[in-house]
Amino acid sequence: MKRAEIKSDIAWSAPDRVMIHGYNLCDEIVGKVDFGQMTFLQIFARMPKDDNELRMFNAVMVILVEHGITPSSLSTRLTYCGAPESVQAAVAAGLLGLGSVFVGSLDQAARMLQTAIPDPSSPGDLKAKALEIVDDYMQRKAIIPGIGHPFHKPIDPRTVALFNVAKETGYYGPFADLITLIGQTAEKRTGKVLPVNVTAAMAAVVSQMGIDHRVCRGLAVAARAVGLVGHIIEESRQPMAGEIYMRLEHEASQHLAPKD
């Protein structure tokens, strides 16, 4: 049986050079291409077509880098506390906690939007689609991805910021309109305050940029990884994980202590 060809078009190396998507790393990239451009090149196998595309992509990547003390950053800090010799394990621990509740809803929201609007040049009746989507999730008693936030209410400020950039760069379109309508419809149907959160805003923008929903969580993971490195650096200088551990150990087991 003939074996399938094994190949990669991303990069190749020779004794005197490293080539990445056709660019010479040392002569054309180092010192000339910023981190956002390099990330874009690695993902799309090309450089951004213009300043607007680069600005929008950078905004998408920057907005999820940091969000304070969250389950993912706590996981990173606690792992670093227990294994300070393994920085990569601490970052990995934080990334493993990204899912449907924190950060990871980006891909689910993007899939929902891209399924509803397969062709953004012909989006159809967005109000009807929003109602259909909300009804479907409510009937299944499922959480609508990207709708609602535990404390960013009534508006997620990050959504406003990202959509402002999208409008300025030309990447605000039917996906953003649909997710806005989904949020409004969900609020009316439930009577709850359910803002469009940042992962839904990102989903709308990246969908407008033509990014397949199947790779969207990778963008979120790449962005948050940078933030987790920052938490490790702060933990090494200003530790809190040990205190968190000792306090939880005391408070969680206090009911087991013998009574006087």
φ and ψ at residue 242, rounded to 5 degrees: -65, -40
The whole model's pTM is what? 0.89
User: Which 3 state secondary structure label does DSSP give 15?
Assistant: coil
In which element (H, E) is residue 19 found? strand 17-20
Give 251's pLDDT tier (boundaries 50, 70, 90). Answer: confident
Give 166's pLDDT tier (boundaries 50, 70, 90). Answer: very high
Beta strands across the sheet bearing 23-24: 11-14, 17-20, 23-24
In which element (H, E) is residue 98 found? none
Q: Is residue 236 part of a domain?
A: no
Kindly give, in sequence order, each residue whose CB lies less than 8 Å from that of residue 175, ignoring residues fewer than 6 positions away.
113, 114, 117, 120, 203, 204, 205, 207, 208
Who wins on pLDDT, 162 or 105?
A: 162
Task: Reply yes or no on whether the pLDDT at 62 is more than 70.
Answer: yes
Residue 260: the pLDDT is: 64
Shared domain check, 110 and 42: no
Give 37's pLDDT tier (boundaries 50, 70, 90). Answer: very high
Q: Which two tokens stand for residue 163?
A: 């959509």
Residue 57: the pLDDT is: 96
Task: Reply yes or no on whether the pLDDT at 226 is more than 80.
Answer: yes
Write out the residue range of the structural domain in which residue 39 sits: 7-47
> Cis ω on the peptide bond leading into residue 71 (within 30° of 0)?
no
Residue (of 175, 57, 34, 195) closest to 112 by Cα position: 175
Question: For the chain, how many structural domains are there in total?
Answer: 2
Distances (CA, A) of 140 to 60, 134, 137, 144: 30, 10, 5, 10
Q: Is residue 203 part of a domain?
A: yes
Beta strands in 35-178 (DSSP E): none
- Tell me the helices (H) and strands (E) count for the chain, helix number first: 11, 3
Q: What is the spatial distance between Cα 174 and Cα 121, in angstroms, rounded to a whole number?
A: 9
Average pLDDT rounded to a whole number, residues 15-44: 96
Shared domain check, 112 and 42: no
Give 118's pLDDT tier (boundaries 50, 70, 90). Answer: very high
Average pLDDT rounded to a whole number, residues 131-156: 92
Give 256's pLDDT tier (boundaries 50, 70, 90). Answer: confident
Q: Is residue 159 part of a domain?
A: yes
Residue 116: the pLDDT is: 97
Task: Reply yes or no on whether the pLDDT at 243 is more than 80.
Answer: yes
* CATH classification at residue 158: 1.10.230.10
In which element (H, E) is residue 208 found? helix 198-208
Task: Reply yes or no on whether the pLDDT at 227 is more than 80.
Answer: yes
Give 61's pLDDT tier (boundaries 50, 70, 90). Answer: very high
Task: Reply yes or no on whether the pLDDT at 25 is more than 80.
Answer: yes
pLDDT in tens, 167-225: 999 999 999 999 999 999 999 999 999 999 999 999 999 999 999 999 888 898 999 99
Give 50's pLDDT tier (boundaries 50, 70, 90). Answer: very high
Burial class from Cβ neighbours inside 10 Å (0-12, 13-18, 19+) for residue 25 reads middle
Q: Is residue 247 part of a domain?
A: no
Q: Is residue 113 part of a domain?
A: yes
Average pLDDT rounded to a whole number, residues 232-249: 94
Q: Which two tokens stand for residue 206?
A: 């990246």
Q: Is residue 62 part of a domain?
A: no
State the DSSP code for 119: -
pLDDT in tens, 134-146: 999 999 999 999 9
Pairing mode of beta strands 11-14, 23-24: unpaired
Angle between helices 51-62 and 216-237 (to 10 degrees): 50
Q: Is residue 99 part of a domain?
A: no
Q: Is residue 67 part of a domain?
A: no
Shared domain check, 203 and 114: yes
Task: Reply yes or no on whether the pLDDT at 149 is more than 90.
Answer: no
| Residue pointed to by tokens 């959509």 | 163
